[in-house]
């Protein structure tokens, strides 16, 4: 046996990836339910999604506070009683507010579904936002913020989004002590009544489902027009990018590392360049073997890790390179980032590297589609963005067929150093 | 119930196979029976640094990552005080690539000076990112030294100090490899869309001819029972006072471990847990408080940590924790509360088992504990714990004499 010779492999282009379809139901009041069944385990995941993200705020932090506090008291039960019934059944009820949407997600053993649905119903349809819970929330969030503001990476993330989108745009707006202080129970309640309505609700459910799951969902979410009809209008908002491009901030005199961010605007996922950029970005800084990692971590040892990412925001996206590097090598890191950008502009990606990235990306998608929870996640992202499986298949096709010339062309268009914002927070 | 087959190669490598034909993927998990606890006290952080070097090329293959990515695979690794674990996920059709790569680096590394040089720097940056440049980042370093006088849990996995990593030499790397990274000290777990016969053939082919090595006989100094409470004041430029209390608990294979684990859940598991409900919600003394432990193989620490609400005195905060601990020591918990924490364990184990990677990793872990079969009986160990046992354990475990406290003050 010759150990220097790699065993033969099956290439990415030969994998036929199929996105397993979901089943769709409608509750009696019209709420759509997207279902991905799998009976291999005794667990399920139930997610309710509402257009209730920071986009719709009239006061900063309204969306996050509303989302958080819905679980902390209803007209029938206190926060503690709600937590107790969820914990007693070993379930997890997570909530999240993003830029566009806000979610409530229940994870539980299938056998407990029936007793947990009424709890979820109460949280979604009958929260009362007690004054005491709000005050506690403000106090604890402010304390958390005070700690986070000492971290260079946290501070850098806030600033780079502000430079890209402007502090008045939902994508660039950040939390503050003042904004927490200004939160009021009545306005949270009003935000809740407007956004968490039956006609704005979508339900995604996956895993091993009780046979009567649809009747159950109907019983708790489908019979009434809870919170009434609201029709939300979502228009694009103008972004206000910073005029300056280079920023250096000293946040901690004794800091031994700096948070480096290098970022530029990029069109959203509906633009034909987006799927192509997913490939170019992977080559550049999207996986462990990327140009940035190979050079700045594996060759120079400036950092524990460096990555570039494409934002998944709806209106407009951005390309953001981020790392924490040794204090004395932050500037050298930025130089190397620019060198790598220019290298992709000036030289075509070698065939072997392109093949490797294709295979890596396809293998990674194959792994991501493993299991009902992951599949419904993939579908949810398509559905919430008004896309269908064709978008997914088109991305796969791009990965399999994009050429080195196309990638170089793309780099020439988007990888010009002068177009990037750069920031170091020490 | 997780199905698996187990066999041992002639060189002592233990192999576990978990077939799952619902997935197109395969995972390969290689666990080495060596962690930071096995380090020389003058060369701490070495097991973890070594993990980084495992990606710097092996004797016949200059690059580990590239061929794996070419085969559509991803990988990572982690080091703890107890063990070092490497894992790969890739399309099942390409599983042989994983065998090829993992066996070659078990055969021998390339021992490249340049790789050592770079990874020393990378690990230094990791050290800075997680333990120096973060508020409260040094607390575990201090806590381990406070709580342990003798056992090597006295230092963190990343190392006691940066200089230990900076001074690592290539000859140390070689010696470490040939002492610990041998088939006889390793467990290979393979899962996914594979068959037992296929894995047997591949394991023989790629790992069969690697010299067995000598079985590492672990002989670590035991930590003596703590006789008196340890306390330490720290002052640092952080915005909030914080309180950390650690109690020596039991080794992972000790029967009493399960009662202790449930105690940590009663105190700190979920929003309805005692500490959160009383100290955050009712008394408003802490803005957050948790109770947890790391499940260490040797006797570890049960930790209570919380940040104080601004204006609250450290004394009052500690007193309030003490009252909650005494309740557990003085009153037997209700059957309902006991059932709650057992239900939480049941659910946690079920969700853990959902991922193929976790299943392979856990099979290897339980094999390290003594037998992969233990994995399928883990919940039973919790089910039999009684309220009375919790009561008895709480008295011993949460005894003030067994405590180690750090008062972490915000320098104003």
Nearest alpha-carbon partner for A286 in A319, A313, A242 = A319
The DSSP element (H or E) to which A25 belongs, if any, is strand A23-26
CATH number for the domain including A413? 3.30.830.10
pTM: 0.95
Q: Which of chain A's residues have a Cβ under 8 Å away from the Cβ of B273?
A: 87
Q: Residue B268: helix, strand or coil by DSSP? A: helix
Average pLDDT of span B101-125: 92
Provide the domain count of chain A: 2
Q: Which of chain B's residues have a Cβ under 8 Å away from the Cβ of A371?
A: 23, 354-355
Instruction: Please indicate whether, in this complex, the C-beta atoms of A367 and B120 are within 8 angstroms of each other.
Output: no
Interface test with B, best of A41, A136, A207, A370 (most B CBs within 10 A): A370
Q: How far apart are CA B172 and CA A61, in angstroms?
A: 53
Average pLDDT of span B349-376: 96
Are A214 and A331 in a shared domain? no
Domain membership of residue A74 as a residue range: 20-222
- Whether A229 is in a domain gets the answer no
Q: Which of chain B's residues have a Cβ under 8 Å away from the Cβ of A325?
A: 125
The DSSP element (H or E) to which B121 belongs, if any, is helix B113-127
Q: How far apart are CA B269 and CA B249, in angstroms?
A: 17
Pairs of CB atoms within 8 A across A/B: 200
Are A395 and A275 in a shared domain? yes
What is residue A127's DSSP assignment? B
The confidence score (pLDDT) of residue A137 equals: 98
**Among A139, A326, A367, beta carbon nearest to B25:** A367
Are A199 and A298 in a shared domain? no
**Among A256, A356, A373, beta carbon nearest to B132:** A256
Instruction: Please indicate whether, in this complex, the C-beta atoms of B69 and A355 are within 8 angstroms of each other.
Output: no
Tell me how close the Cα of B389 comes to any Cα of chain A, in angstroms. 20
**Among A41, A300, A366, beta carbon nearest to B24:** A366
Q: Is B120 on the interface with A (CB under 8 A)?
A: yes
CA torsion through residues B262, B268, B272, B277, sign: positive
Q: How far apart are CA A130 and CA A69, in angstroms?
A: 9
Please give the backbone phi and psi of residue B145, each rounded to the nearest 5 degrees, phi first. -70, -30
- Whether A120 is in a domain gets the answer yes
User: Can you list the positions of beta strands (E) in B177-237?
Assistant: 186-192, 230-236
Range scoring the smallest mean pLDDT among A4-18, A314-328, B292-306: A4-18
Instruction: Please indicate whether, in this complex, the C-beta atoms of B74 and A139 are within 8 angstroms of each other.
Output: no
The confidence score (pLDDT) of residue A338 equals: 98
Judge contact between A148 and A118, C-beta under 8 A: no
Q: Which of residues 335-364 of B touch A (CB under 8 A)?
A: 336, 339-340, 343-348, 350-351, 353-356
Are A286 and A138 in a shared domain? no
Question: Per-residue confidence at A68, pLDDT binned at 50, 70, 90?
Answer: very high
**Among B120, B126, B343, beta carbon nearest to A90:** B343
The confidence score (pLDDT) of residue A337 equals: 98
Q: How far apart are CA A229 and CA A282, in angstroms?
A: 43
**Among A146, A254, A362, beta carbon nearest to B239:** A146
- Whether A241 is in a domain gets the answer no
Question: Per-residue confidence at B71, pLDDT binned at 50, 70, 90?
Answer: very high
The DSSP element (H or E) to which B87 belongs, if any, is strand B84-91
Q: Which of chain B's residues have a Cβ under 8 Å away from the Cβ of A10?
A: 91, 93-94
Are A122 and A169 in a shared domain? yes
Are A303 and A207 in a shared domain? no
Please give the backbone phi and psi of residue A61, each rounded to the nearest 5 degrees, phi first. 75, 0
Tell me how close the Cα of A41 comes to any Cα of chain B, in angstroms. 7
Average pLDDT of span B77-93: 97
Tell me how close the Cα of B224 comes to any Cα of chain A, in angstroms. 37
Q: How far apart are CA A327 and CA A105, in angstroms?
A: 40
**Does residue B412 carry a pLDDT above 80?**
no
How buried is B113 (Cβ within 10 angstroms: 0-12 exposed, 13-18 middle, 19+ buried)? Answer: exposed
Q: Are strands A246-249 and A421-425 parallel, antiparallel or unpaired?
A: parallel
The DSSP element (H or E) to which A134 belongs, if any, is helix A131-148
Question: Per-residue confidence at A270, pLDDT binned at 50, 70, 90?
Answer: very high
Are A161 and A273 in a shared domain? no
Q: How many CB atoms lie within 10 A of CB A237?
A: 15
Average pLDDT of span B312-322: 98
Q: How far apart are CA B267 and CA B321, in angstroms?
A: 10
Average pLDDT of span B51-55: 92
Are A52 and A171 in a shared domain? yes
Q: Residue B250: helix, strand or coil by DSSP? A: coil
The confidence score (pLDDT) of residue A253 equals: 87
Average pLDDT of span A246-269: 95
Q: Which of chain B's residues have a Cβ under 8 Å away from the Cβ of A9?
A: 70-72, 93-94, 97
Question: What Cα–Cα distance (Å) separates residue A15 from each residue in A348, A359, B71, B235?
Answer: 26, 9, 11, 58
CA torsion through residues A391, A392, A394, A399, sign: positive
Are A159 and A287 in a shared domain? no
Question: Per-residue confidence at A116, pLDDT binned at 50, 70, 90?
Answer: very high
Q: Which of residues 74-113 of B touch A (CB under 8 A)?
A: 74, 89-91, 93-94, 96-97, 99-100, 103-104, 107
The confidence score (pLDDT) of residue A33 equals: 98
Q: Which of residues 211-250 of B touch A (CB under 8 A)?
A: 237-240
Tell me how close the Cα of A393 comes to any Cα of chain B, in angstroms. 18
CA A180 to the chain's CA centroid: 23
Question: Per-residue confidence at B302, pLDDT binned at 50, 70, 90?
Answer: very high
Shortest CA distance from A372: residue in chain B = B354
Q: Is B283 on the interface with A (CB under 8 A)?
A: no
Q: What domains lie within chain B, and their CATH numbers?
A: 5-208 (3.30.830.10), 230-410 (3.30.830.10)
Interface test with B, best of A86, A143, A306 (most B CBs within 10 A): A143
Shortest CA distance from B132: residue in chain A = A256
Q: Which of chain A's residues have a Cβ under 8 Å away from the Cβ of B356?
A: 370
Q: Is B334 on the interface with A (CB under 8 A)?
A: no
Q: B205-216 burial, b if ≥16 CB within 10 A, otherwise e?
A: ebbbebeebeee
Shortest CA distance from A12: residue in chain B = B72
- Beta-carbon-side half-sphere exposure of residue B410 (alpha carbons within 13 Å): 19
Are A205 and A269 in a shared domain? no
Write down which residue in A172, A187, A222 finishes a domain.
A222
Q: Residue A253: helix, strand or coil by DSSP? A: coil
Judge contact between A71 and A93, C-beta under 8 A: yes
Are A199 and A80 in a shared domain? yes
CA B330 to the chain's CA centroid: 32
- Whether A256 is in a domain gets the answer yes
- Whether A1 is in a domain gets the answer no
Question: Per-residue confidence at B209, pLDDT binned at 50, 70, 90?
Answer: very high
Q: Is B71 on the interface with A (CB under 8 A)?
A: yes
- Whether A6 is in a domain gets the answer no
Q: Are strands B403-410 and B230-236 parallel, antiparallel or unpaired?
A: parallel
Token code pair at residue A236: 């694009």
Token code pair at residue B286: 């802490």
Are A209 and A256 in a shared domain? no
Tell me how close the Cα of B320 comes to any Cα of chain A, in angstroms. 18
Judge contact between A145 and A178, C-beta under 8 A: no
**Among A147, A287, A325, beta carbon nearest to B240:** A147
**Among B90, B310, B347, beta carbon nearest to A91:** B347
Range scoring the smallest mean pLDDT among A71-80, A190-199, A326-335, B162-171: B162-171
Tell me how close the Cα of B401 comes to any Cα of chain A, in angstroms. 32
- Whether A14 is in a domain gets the answer no
- Whether A238 is in a domain gets the answer no
Instruction: Please indicate whether, in this complex, the C-beta atoms of B280 and A140 are within 8 angstroms of each other.
Output: yes
Q: In this predicted model, what pLDDT tens digit does every residue of B24-41 receive, in sequence order?
A: 999 999 999 999 999 999
**Does residue A254 carry a pLDDT above 90?**
no
């Amino acid at each position: 046996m010759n150990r220097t010779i790699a065993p033969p492999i099956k290439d990415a282009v030969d994998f036929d990836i199929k996105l397993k379809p979901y089943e769709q139901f409608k509750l009696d009041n019209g709420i759509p339910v997207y279902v991905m069944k799998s009976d291999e385990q005794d667990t399920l995941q139930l997610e309710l999604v509402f257009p209730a993200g920071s986009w719709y705020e009239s006061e900063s932090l309204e969306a996050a506070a509303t989302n958080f506090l819905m679980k902390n008291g209803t007209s029938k039960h206190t926060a503690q009683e709600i937590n107790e019934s969820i914990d007693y059944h070993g379930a997890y009820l997570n909530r999240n507010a993003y830029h566009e949407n806000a979610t409530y997600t229940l994870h539980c053993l299938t056998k407990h579904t029936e007793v947990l649905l009424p709890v979820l119903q109460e949280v979604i349809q009958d929260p009362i936002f007690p004054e005491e819970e709000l005050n506690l929330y403000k106090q604890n969030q402010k304390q958390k913020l005070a700690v986070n503001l000492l971290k260079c990476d946290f501070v850098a993330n806030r600033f780079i989004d502000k430079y890209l989108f402007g502090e008045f745009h939902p994508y660039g707006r950040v939390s503050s002590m003042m904004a927490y202080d200004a939160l009021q129970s009545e306005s949270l309640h009003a935000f809740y009544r407007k956004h968490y309505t039956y006609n704005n609700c979508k339900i995604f459910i996956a895993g091993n489902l009780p046979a009567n799951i649809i009747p159950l969902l109907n019983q708790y979410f489908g019979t009434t027009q809870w919170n009434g009809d609201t029709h939300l209008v979502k228009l694009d908002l103008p972004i206000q990018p910073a005029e300056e491009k280079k920023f250096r901030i000293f946040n901690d005199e004794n800091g031994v590392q700096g948070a480096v961010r290098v970022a530029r605007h990029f069109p959203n996922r509906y633009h034909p360049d987006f799927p192509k950029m997913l490939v170019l970005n992977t080559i550049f800084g999207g996986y462990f073997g990327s140009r940035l990692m190979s050079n700045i971590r594996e060759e120079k040892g400036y950092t524990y890790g460096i990555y570039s990412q494409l934002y998944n925001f709806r209106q407009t996206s951005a390309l953001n390179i981020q790392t924490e590097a040794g204090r004395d090598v932050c500037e050298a890191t930025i130089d190397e980032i620019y060198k790598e950008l220019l290298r992709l502009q000036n030289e075509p990606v070698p065939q072997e590297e392109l093949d490797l990235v294709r295979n890596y990306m396809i293998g990674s998608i194959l792994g991501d589609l493993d299991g009902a929870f992951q599949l419904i996640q993939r579908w949810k992202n398509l559905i919430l963005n008004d896309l269908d499986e064709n978008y997914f298949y088109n991305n796969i096709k791009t990965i399999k067929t994009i050429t080195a010339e196309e990638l170089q062309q793309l780099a020439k268009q988007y990888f010009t150093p002068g177009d990037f914002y750069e920031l170091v927070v020490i | 119930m997780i199905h698996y087959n187990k066999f041992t190669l002639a060189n002592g490598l233990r192999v576990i196979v978990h077939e799952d034909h619902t997935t197109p993927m395969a995972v390969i998990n290689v666990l080495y029976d060596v962690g930071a606890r096995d380090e020389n006290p003058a060369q701490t952080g070495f097991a973890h640094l070594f993990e980084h070097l495992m990606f710097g090329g092996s004797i016949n293959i200059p690059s580990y990552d590239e061929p794996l990515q070419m085969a559509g695979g991803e990988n990572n690794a982690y080091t703890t005080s107890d063990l070092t674990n490497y894992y790969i996920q890739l399309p099942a059709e390409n599983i042989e690539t994983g065998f090829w790569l993992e066996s070659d680096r078990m055969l021998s590394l390339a021992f490249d000076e340049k790789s050592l040089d770079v990874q020393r720097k990378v690990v230094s940056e990791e050290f800075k990112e997680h333990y120096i440049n973060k508020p409260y980042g040094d607390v575990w370093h201090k806590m381990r030294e406070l709580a342990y006088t003798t056992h090597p849990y006295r230092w963190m996995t990343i190392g006691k100090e940066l200089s230990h990593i900076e001074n690592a030499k290539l000859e140390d790397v070689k010696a470490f490899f040939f002492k610990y990274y041998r088939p006889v000290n390793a467990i290979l777990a393979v899962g996914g869309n594979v068959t037992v016969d296929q894995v047997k053939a591949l394991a023989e082919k790629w790992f069969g001819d690697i010299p067995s090595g000598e079985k590492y006989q672990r002989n670590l100094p035991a930590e003596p029972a703590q006789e008196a409470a340890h306390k330490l004041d720290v002052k640092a430029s952080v915005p909030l006072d914080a309180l950390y209390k650690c109690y020596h608990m039991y080794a992972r294979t000790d029967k009493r471990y399960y009662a202790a684990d449930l105690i940590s859940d009663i105190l700190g598991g979920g929003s309805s847990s005692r500490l959160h409900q009383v100290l955050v919600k009712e008394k408003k003394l802490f803005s957050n408080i948790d109770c947890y432990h790391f499940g260490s193989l040797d006797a570890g620490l049960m930790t209570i940590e919380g940040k104080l609400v601004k204006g609250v005195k450290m004394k009052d905060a500690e007193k309030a924790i003490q009252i909650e601990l005494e309740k557990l020591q003085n009153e037997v918990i209700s059957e309902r509360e006991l059932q709650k924490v057992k239900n939480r364990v049941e659910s946690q184990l079920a969700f853990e088992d959902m991922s193929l990677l976790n299943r392979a990793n856990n099979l290897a872990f339980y094999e390290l504990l003594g037998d992969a079969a233990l994995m399928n009986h883990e919940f039973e160990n919790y089910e039999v714990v009684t309220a009375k046992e919790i009561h008895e354990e709480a008295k011993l475990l949460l005894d003030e004499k067994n405590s180690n406290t750090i008062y972490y003050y915000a320098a104003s």
